């Protein structure tokens, strides 16, 4: 079967791709930037992969969608967008998607969305409902899967709950922690998404998919604590406004502020599924919330987290087209360069690809943490995102407050682009050539403030980067 998969680089898309390939399908992966998609993780799969570049905000970029596709997945959303009017973008994306698919031989479109059974919906869920209506067409059958909160290693909900419970023995929480929801594991999500493929009994229908338990957010936090053998207390108070709640999530957890704001608005709405027989029809065993926590930590312990919501690439970075800088620019830039002879290339290479996250930055980590705190204070991403895998990096991965633009062990090169708040643009590059490690920090300032920032930080560069390169070339004891 030939399948168009959108959202390929997203949290659900990466995992669904693996399952569809295991089932020997030919997958046409729609991505906005080929440079950030790595097919090496799928080399052993049974199916085939074709990569095409599309931007569903631009109808003219969709002409390369193959005419002979059988099924298309719509896994595009803008919940983390900083744009307050993201609903208009989502509607336009859905309209363009529908127009493009109607020109093909596609028999079925499968849309993963949220449960929308309440009469009063958050802006995010209302936008999802609008997208569902927009995708309706007489040219293909639409199957809509409306999911509860997704729980799994790397999912936004799981990582936020993890941050709150692991960091706070006592939580003074907003009243929305009493809101009811019906969480579902990522494993079950993938089973549903693959299970409805070309099943005629699901054509032009929608189904709520959720786990077997209805829980409040407070119960989810406390059950997580039980699984982790932690004693936690939660005190609810009525005076948290939505904005205060958003800042509370933003500063305590790893989430971005736009996502925190949209999550808070959604968390005020009960998310409870209407009953249906789809799980039984597809022979899917629904896992409990605690079972899903256990599955998530199995993956974390084995260092096998396949995808993370942190790695979702924001629209403003796509608009800036940062991928054009796989070769770092020179014009109008300040540079700080180091080089040092190495004695053990393999050890140094491993250190480079293990940098950041729990491993830290090898030198002056307190200064890196301070920079992360300052970034959070001004609305940046800070250091809390960490890294998806402890030893491997690929293009598109988030790495603390950097984004991986290029990672190639064979070429012995790692290139990072700064996502912290800066009066300009910054890159950090590591390359090994012959018996030397080359380290280069590049900054392209914007205006006078950008130049002032560079000279203000310049004394620290010698300390931080000089100490870092020495640690990188030093053999492990």
Q: Which pLDDT score is estimated for 29?
A: 92
Work out the number of other CB atoms within 10 angstroms of the CB of residue 63.
Answer: 9
Q: Each residue of 356-389: pLDDT tens digit? A: 988 899 998 898 888 888 888 877 777 767 787 8
DSSP letter at 326?
A: S
Section 91-116 average pLDDT: 94
Q: Which pLDDT score is estimated for 315?
A: 47
Q: Which pLDDT score is estimated for 35?
A: 67
Q: Cβ contacts of residue 439 below 8 Å, gap of 6+?
A: 337, 338, 339, 340, 428, 429, 430, 465, 468, 469, 472
The pTM assigned to this predicted structure is 0.73
Query: 142: left (phi > 0), else alpha (psi -120 to 50), else beta?
Result: beta
Q: Which pLDDT score is estimated for 85?
A: 64
User: Domains of the chain, with CATH numbers?
Assistant: 2-301 (3.40.50.720), 328-473 (3.30.530.20)
Strand boundaries in 33-107, DSSP class E:
48-53, 71-74
In the predicted structure, residue 354 carries a pLDDT above the cut 50: yes
Q: CA–CA separation, 13 vs 8, rounded Å?
A: 4
Q: Each residue of 392-403: pLDDT tens digit? A: 888 778 888 888
Q: Which pLDDT score is estimated for 136?
A: 95
In the predicted structure, residue 166 carries a pLDDT above the cut 80: yes
In the predicted structure, residue 105 carries a pLDDT above the cut 70: yes
CA 337, distance to chain mean position in Å, is 32
Name the band, by pLDDT with cuts 50, 70 and 90, for residue 310.
very low
In the predicted structure, residue 61 carries a pLDDT above the cut 80: yes
Counting other chains too, the contacts that 298-303 makes at CB distance below 8 Å and 24 or more residues apart are 299/152, 299/153, 300/153, 303/389, 303/390, 303/391
What tokens appear for 73 in the block?
Answer: 């997945």
Work out the number of other CB atoms within 10 angstroms of the CB of residue 204.
Answer: 14
Backbone angles phi, psi at 388, to 5 degrees: -70, -40
What tokens appear for 125 in the block?
Answer: 């869920």
Q: Each residue of 186-206: pLDDT tens digit? A: 999 999 999 999 999 999 999
Q: Each residue of 342-353: pLDDT tens digit? A: 989 999 999 999
In the predicted structure, residue 36 carries a pLDDT above the cut 90: no
Q: CA–CA separation, 253 vs 247, rounded Å?
A: 10
More confident residue, 312 or 30: 30
Section 332-339 average pLDDT: 89
Q: Which pLDDT score is estimated for 258?
A: 66
In the predicted structure, residue 21 carries a pLDDT above the cut 60: yes
Q: Which pLDDT score is estimated for 223?
A: 94
More confident residue, 133 or 326: 133
Burial class (CB in 10 A: 0-12, 13-18, 19+), 381: buried
Name the band, by pLDDT with cuts 50, 70 and 90, for residue 106.
very high
Name the band, by pLDDT with cuts 50, 70 and 90, for residue 233.
very high
Minimum mean pLDDT range among 197-211, 282-296, 430-444, 448-462: 448-462
Q: CA–CA separation, 471 vs 452, rounded Å?
A: 29
Q: Which pLDDT score is estimated for 139?
A: 96
In the predicted structure, residue 300 carries a pLDDT above the cut 70: no
Q: Average model confidence (pLDDT) for the chain?
A: 84
Q: Which pLDDT score is estimated for 4?
A: 96
What tokens appear for 83 in the block?
Answer: 């744009």
Name the band, by pLDDT with cuts 50, 70 and 90, for residue 476.
low
Strand boundaries in 61-183, DSSP class E:
71-74, 108-114, 141-147, 150-151, 170-174, 180-181
Q: CA–CA separation, 404 vs 369, rounded Å?
A: 19
DSSP 160-185: HHHHHHHH-SEEEEEGGGG-EE--EE
Section 35-49 average pLDDT: 67
């Amino acid at each position: 079967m030939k399948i168009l998969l959108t959202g390929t680089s997203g949290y659900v898309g990466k995992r669904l791709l693996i399952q569809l390939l295991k089932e020997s399908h030919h997958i046409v992966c729609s991505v906005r930037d080929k440079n950030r998609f790595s097919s090496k993780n799928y080399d052993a799969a049974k199916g085939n992969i074709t990569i095409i570049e599309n931007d569903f905000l631009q109808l003219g970029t969709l002409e390369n969608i193959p005419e002979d596709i059988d099924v298309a997945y719509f896994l595009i959303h803008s919940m983390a967008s900083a744009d307050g009017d993201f609903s208009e973008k989502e509607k336009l994306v859905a309209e363009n998607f529908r127009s493009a698919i109607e020109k093909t031989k596609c028999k079925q479109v499968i849309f993963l969305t949220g449960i929308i059974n309440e009469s009063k919906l958050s802006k995010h869920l209302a936008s999802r409902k609008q997208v569902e209506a927009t995708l309706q067409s007489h040219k293909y059958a639409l199957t809509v899967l409306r999911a509860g909160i997704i729980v799994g290693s790397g999912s936004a909900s799981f990582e936020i709950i993890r941050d709150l419970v692991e960091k706070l023995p006592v939580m003074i929480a907003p009243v929305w922690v009493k809101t009811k929801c019906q969480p579902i594991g990522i494993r079950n999500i993938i089973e549903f998404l693959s299970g409805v493929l070309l099943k005629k009994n699901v054509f032009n229908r929608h189904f709520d998919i959720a786990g077997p338990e209805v829980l409040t957010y407070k119960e989810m936090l406390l059950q997580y604590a039980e699984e982790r053998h932690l004693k936690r207390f939660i005190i609810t108070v009525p005076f948290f406004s939505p904005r205060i709640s958003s800042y509370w999530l933003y500063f305590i957890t790893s989430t971005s502020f736009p996502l925190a704001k949209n999550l808070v608005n959604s968390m005020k709405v009960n998310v409870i599924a209407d009953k249906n027989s789809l799980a039984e029809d597809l022979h899917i065993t629904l896992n409990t919330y605690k079972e899903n926590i256990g599955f998530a930590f199995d993956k974390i312990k084995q260092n096998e987290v396949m995808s993370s919501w942190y790695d979702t690439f924001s629209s403003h970075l796509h608009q800036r087209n940062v991928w054009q800088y796989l070769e770092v620019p020179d014009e109008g830039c300040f540079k700080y360069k180091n080089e040092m002879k190495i004695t053990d290339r393999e050890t140094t290479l491993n250190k480079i690809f293990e940098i950041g996250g729990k491993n830290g930055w090898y030198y002056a980590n307190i200064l890196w943490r301070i920079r992360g705190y300052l970034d959070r204070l001004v609305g940046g991403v800070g250091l809390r995102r960490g890294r998806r895998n402890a030893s491997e990096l690929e293009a598109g991965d988030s790495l603390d407050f950097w984004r991986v633009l290029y990672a190639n062990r064979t070429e012995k090169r790692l290139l990072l682009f700064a996502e912290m708040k800066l009066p300009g643009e910054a890159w950090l590059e590591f390359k090994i050539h012959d018996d030397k490690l080359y380290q280069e920090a590049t900054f392209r300032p914007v205006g006078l403030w950008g130049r002032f920032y560079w000279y203000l930080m310049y004394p620290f560069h010698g300390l931080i980067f000089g100490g870092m390169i020495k640690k990188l070339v030093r053999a492990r004891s």
